[in-house]
Amino acid sequence: MRITISESKRAIIEKQMARAGYEDAGEYVLSLVERDARRDAGAELEKELLEGLDSPLLVWGPEMKEQIRRAGRRAAKRRSA
Q: How do residues 6-55 score in pLDDT, each as one tens digit?
A: 999 999 999 999 999 998 888 998 999 999 998 888 888 888 888 877 77
The pLDDT of residue 22: 92
The pLDDT of residue 19: 93
How big is the CA angle at 7 (ends 27 and 31), to the nearest 5 degrees? Answer: 15
Q: How many Å apart are CA 24 and CA 68, to the nearest integer? A: 40
The model's pTM is: 0.55
Confidence class for position 58, pLDDT limits 50, 70, 90: low
68 Cβ contact partners less than 8 Å away, ≥ 6 residues apart: 49, 53, 60
Task: Find the mean pLDDT for residues 74-80.
Answer: 84
The pLDDT of residue 76: 85
